Structure 1
Amino acid sequence: MRLVWSPETASNAYIHTVRSCKSYRDSSVAEFLSATAAGWNTRLIVETWSRGDPIATSVGLAVAAIHTCGRHVCIVPDEESRSEYKAVMRGAVTSDSTEVMVLDSAEDVVERISGVDFMVVDSKRHEFVNALGLAKTSKMGAVLVCKNATLKSIPGFKWQGLLRRGTRVVRSVFLPVGRGLEIVHVGASGGGNGLRKIPSRWIKHIDPRSGEEHLFKRASSKGKGKGIKYPVDRISMLPDEMLQKILSTLSTKDAVITSTLSKRWVDQWKRIPHLCVDMRNIMRTNPTSYVHELSFRFAESMTKTLNNHRGHLESCTISHIQFIFLFIDRWIQTVTREKQTKEITLVNNIVSLATFSKLAPLLRMEVNTPRLVIFDIKSIYCFGYSVEAPKLSMFKRDYWVGGMSYPHLSYHISSLAQEKIRIWLELMVSQIYHMKRTGSLSVSVDVRNPNEVEILKEVLLLWDGEMMDLEILFKNNNAPIEEGESFITGGARNKWWDGEKPFPDDFFRVCTVWMYNFDGSNEEEFALASRFVTQGTVTEKLMIKTSTYPPVKQLMTEAKVAKLMELPKGYEYLDIECF
């Protein structure tokens, strides 16, 4: 008997770990080890952990044990580590298969554990690395892993000098995942007594999609002392989609490095959905005088990376320095037109302010793009923007008042295809969470459409504190509703402002509301303004623009504003004005 690889179990454990570790900063090692442990269908998984270590790997191994119905054992150095481990794991993953043992000595603990299928230790602790050599592996073989391999505490680290005498090493490899993984596959040995079985000349692999069985003949060398060579490692036998999911968890640099592993990996990175190219490392590791020359070399390499990528991109982040503006336009053209990129992030890094002899404020920024949907500007302050983008739904930028930065978000509400826009809106609002009280929002909405009103309500509720300014632009291109027609199906047309419930809720507050294109004859718009006045939503000013109206419409609208002034105010000192 020997360990058998199951790509389907590996894929399920990988996806489960991605979801469980989404809140951890560095989870690539956890996802990889979880997929590997589950893919080999391991029944006894052993790891070492000490107080203060990251918990992501432990979560991944616990997930693997769930999918294999196996046992997960964690060895810790003391009682404090045991308590902390249990507390952290309790909030990360639900598993009844995890056991915790205190390491009195490596010999004592490992003697109590036999039949190890999968073991992970941290190379930063000498006693943990020694535990690898004492492990009693399963008769079917085992996979042993040493993580943080670039920080190994034992110089001259070699598996053959560490493992038990007579242990048959089938294959060992170093992977640039996280801070490095040293992995060894120990072959079936009949109980670890050193007896060597003659392996089969054939490798059997069953395609999980078609169910077809494939046989690969082992390539062996006739030279004396040379071991058996496998045509391909088990990880490389995973489907392309699985390999690309694994690479998508790495940085772009590490993903490209994997192309040197074997021919199987050469083109895998070229289909990952996210690219991030960062030039800041040039500034950190080189004198300023060399940065100019090196930046051009790096920019050419960056161009090759973008050109070599195949397929479409979900997102692309380019962190550049100011010397290579000639390349930026080319990169934008490539990622938008050829790669159909959905999200682009450009970060301009300043090498040194001392290189500028004179600084001047940016007076105007012009953007012209026919397909732009969401536009987010950070740390760029100018006096005016000109944005020509017919599909633009959301625009976020910052502006300066009295030496402080105030975030401002503009949102064009539409009832079509809102799910993705809502996700982006929530993300952008979360980015200014600590500045919500000083933030402002502009919305364009049709209050005659209950769907858009419901979205407006969701948008306002994202601010859980007092908003500084709210600008509302009422859409005026609404077609008249014919008799019997309704925005809401079934029965008579419901009015969203019916009832006593405040809009959007009892707690939302805004200092000043500015209303544009306000039509006094529109009962929905008047109802919204009335709600803001009477329920105390607006705390300082309600400003309605009428100065651009024709004389007759201006008089009619100002008459409606006068009626708003007569309403009982939720705030006694609320000012209602036309401008």
Structure 2
Amino acid sequence: MSLFPLSILKGSQFHDQPKPMNASLSSDERGKRILVDHVEDRLSKLPDSVLGKILGTMSTEEAVKTSVLSKRWKSVWKRVPFLHFDMLVDMNKMTPLAPETITQVINRHNDHLEGCSIVHYAHLCQDSVLETWIRLLTLEKQTNAIALSNRHGNGTGTNQLRLSPEIFSHPRLKTLFLYRYDFKFAHDFKNCYNLKILKLEKIHAEVDVFNRIIASCPSLKVLVLHRVVWRIKKACLKIHNNNLKLLHVSCIDVDCIEVNAPLLDIFSIYCTHFARKANFIIKAPRPLHHNGFLDLAEFNMRYNISRQSRERKYIAHEFVISRDANYLKRLRSLSVFVDVMNSKQVELLRQILVAWNGILGDLNILFEDTNASKEEGESSIGGIQNKKWEEGKVFPNADFRVETVCMLNFSGSNKAQFALASRFITQGTVTKKMMFMTSSYPQEVKLNTEAAVAKLMKLPKGNENLNIGYF
């Protein structure tokens, strides 16, 4: 489940009412009813808290409909942890979900809400309506996560979001997604020390407004600016944050980007018509800005797995492998810094590759020095990890494919690195090229690595057209 599991919530429509319990049924339907009643009876014995979590995996429409099943079920839906509303038009009745219905359902919910998402039509929901929903969710329901999506926004200034100052600053609100709005001011975000995750998608605003929004949210750990637009190109987007773990920026015609984030572990950029690469300034951990490894390139994600694995909570990792990070499919390459002798880091690597859900263009791997990274109490990890590599349990057949893999500091004497490379080759994971950098090594190390690459070339290939070499 993602941090804000929009992916498990379906569209919510309240138009189709359930068939009355006393309606005439065929013999086949009566048999099915007996089975359903039996299952219902078993479910009804569960505590309300458990039933609320079960209904929380359903759309709000489906959850509310369960209130007609029996007296036992009348109020169960009011304890679901997530609500999702979508003003999709019923194609038969052409009747959109009314804003009043959404307000009513939120009011009737009588438990703590983990999250609420609302997809609305701009012409039906003025700023006062949106503000009512936000205040209901934050002040009364203590909601942790809110997603607001403007279905028919066009970025011409007609969908400007005008809300009261500090409306997003409630201390319980941790996650905020906003989609397809125009921002003229940043006062909505004033004093947002509470926000940990902020995703702004298809937002139109001047660069200075974005800068003020970012500066107003100093506690952010995840910041996503996806397909954002501004009119004045001669400006610098400034992202200065001492807590940021994940940053994604996607925009058009940006003149300058300045990033200062000492704790940044995951960074990606998708900027077309970037004015000059010299205007991109990033102050972040060394593995995110390593000479010859992570030079500025469009459509590339850099991920310091080694640093992220040391966190108590993988908030950045969990976000990027969730469907909430829907920008992954637009990225062409992934560069990782990882210790393959550490089983925790190998698992994080596997998860991020599987999350790509498609053919990745390039995968660049920079291996961490195991001896240098080993922490106190970790002395046994190496032996356990080697055993797992030998048993083939660490990296099973995976559901991902990559066109080109480059191992930039591959060590021919490291059994775990050799095992990872061999699995990529024999499983058919790599479709075009597998490359190993040896040019920067001392002569003795270079010869040792090239000998290991020669052994890899002799392995049976999962893809006959795979080209293996070094540079």
Q: 2:368 maps to which residue?
A: 475
Q: 1:389 maps to which residue?
A: 261
Contact 1:466 1:511 in 2 (8 A): yes
Q: Which runs of 5+ in 2 are unaligned?
A: 17-57, 76-89, 121-126, 185-203, 274-296
Q: 2:436 maps to which residue?
A: 544
Q: Look up the SS of the partner of 1:62 in the other structure.
A: helix
The CA distance in 2 between the partners of 1:266 and 1:538, in whole Å, is 47
Contact 2:432 2:467 in 1 (8 A): yes
1:68 aligns with 2:64: no
After TM superposition, give the deviation of residue 559 of structure 1 in Å: 3.7
Q: Which one-letter code corresponds to 1:64 in the other structure? A: S
Q: 1:229 maps to which residue?
A: none
Q: Which runs of 5+ in 1 are unaligned?
A: 1-17, 31-54, 73-121, 126-146, 151-174, 184-234
Q: Look up the SS of the partner of 2:403 in the other structure.
A: strand
The CA distance in 1 between the partners of 2:252 and 2:333, in whole Å, is 17
Which of 176, 192, 198 aligns to 1:316? It is: 176
Stretch of structure 1 that moved more, 566-575 or 519-528? 566-575
1:424 aligns with 2:319: yes
The CA distance in 1 between the partners of 2:270 and 2:461, in whole Å, is 32
After TM superposition, give the deviation of residue 447 of structure 1 in Å: 0.6
The CA distance in 1 between the partners of 2:438 and 2:364, in whole Å, is 15
Contact 2:115 2:143 in 1 (8 A): no
The CA distance in 2 between the partners of 1:510 and 1:465, in whole Å, is 8
Q: 1:23 maps to which residue?
A: 9
The CA distance in 1 between the partners of 2:74 and 2:137, in whole Å, is 36
Q: Look up the SS of the partner of 2:390 in the other structure.
A: coil
1:254 aligns with 2:254: no
1:486 aligns with 2:361: no
1:29–1:543 CA distance, 2 compared to 1 (3 A): same
The CA distance in 1 between the partners of 2:7 and 2:357, in whole Å, is 27
Q: 1:369 maps to which residue?
A: 241
Q: 1:330 maps to which residue?
A: 212
The CA distance in 2 between the partners of 1:484 and 1:347, in whole Å, is 39
The CA distance in 1 between the partners of 2:177 and 2:325, in whole Å, is 20
After TM superposition, give the deviation of residue 479 of structure 1 in Å: 3.6
Which of 114, 136, 139 aligns to 1:268? It is: 139
Q: Look up the SS of the partner of 1:496 in the other structure.
A: helix
Partner deviation per Cα, 1:351-381 (whole Å, 9 max, x = no partner): 8xxx88xx89x9x977543211111223447
The CA distance in 2 between the partners of 1:484 and 1:345, in whole Å, is 34
Which of 62, 67, 83 aligns to 1:59? It is: 62
Query: Could you state the TM-score of these two structures normalised by the residue count of structure 1?
Result: 0.47
Q: Look up the SS of the partner of 1:332 in the other structure.
A: helix
Q: Look up the SS of the partner of 2:387 in the other structure.
A: coil
Contact 1:313 1:342 in 2 (8 A): no
Contact 1:313 1:341 in 2 (8 A): no
Q: Look up the SS of the partner of 1:316 in the other structure.
A: strand
The CA distance in 1 between the partners of 2:373 and 2:226, in whole Å, is 46
Contact 2:343 2:394 in 1 (8 A): no
Q: Look up the SS of the partner of 2:263 in the other structure.
A: coil
Q: Look up the SS of the partner of 1:378 in the other structure.
A: strand
The CA distance in 2 between the partners of 1:246 and 1:428, in whole Å, is 16
Contact 1:510 1:537 in 2 (8 A): yes
1:519 aligns with 2:442: no
Q: 1:510 maps to which residue?
A: 402
Q: Which one-letter code corresponds to 1:424 in the other structure? A: F
Contact 1:398 1:406 in 2 (8 A): yes
Q: 1:103 maps to which residue?
A: none
Counterpart mapping for 1:91-110 below 5 A: none
Total equivalences in the alignment: 354
The CA distance in 1 between the partners of 2:459 and 2:59, in whole Å, is 58
After TM superposition, give the deviation of residue 443 of structure 1 in Å: 2.0
1:21–1:29 CA distance, 2 compared to 1 (3 A): farther
Which of 286, 289, 309 aligns to 1:415? It is: 309
Superposed CA RMSD in Å reads 5.3
- The share of aligned pairs that are identical, in percent, is 27
The CA distance in 2 between the partners of 1:498 and 1:388, in whole Å, is 42
Q: 1:305 maps to which residue?
A: 165
The CA distance in 2 between the partners of 1:463 and 1:149, in whole Å, is 34
1:315–1:557 CA distance, 2 compared to 1 (3 A): same
Partner deviation per Cα, 1:178-228 (whole Å, 9 max, x = no partner): 4x76x9xxxxxxxxxxxxxxxxxxxxxxxxxxxxxxxxxxxxxxxxxxxxx
Q: Look up the SS of the partner of 2:322 in the other structure.
A: helix
1:445–1:549 CA distance, 2 compared to 1 (3 A): same
After TM superposition, give the deviation of residue 344 of structure 1 in Å: 4.3
Q: 2:81 maps to which residue?
A: none
Contact 2:137 2:143 in 1 (8 A): no
Contact 2:238 2:258 in 1 (8 A): yes
Q: Look up the SS of the partner of 1:448 in the other structure.
A: coil
Stretch of structure 1 that moved more, 446-455 or 365-374? 365-374
1:176 aligns with 2:95: no
Q: Look up the SS of the partner of 1:305 in the other structure.
A: coil
Q: 2:350 maps to which residue?
A: 457
1:380–1:577 CA distance, 2 compared to 1 (3 A): farther
After TM superposition, give the deviation of residue 282 of structure 1 in Å: 9.5
Q: 1:45 maps to which residue?
A: none
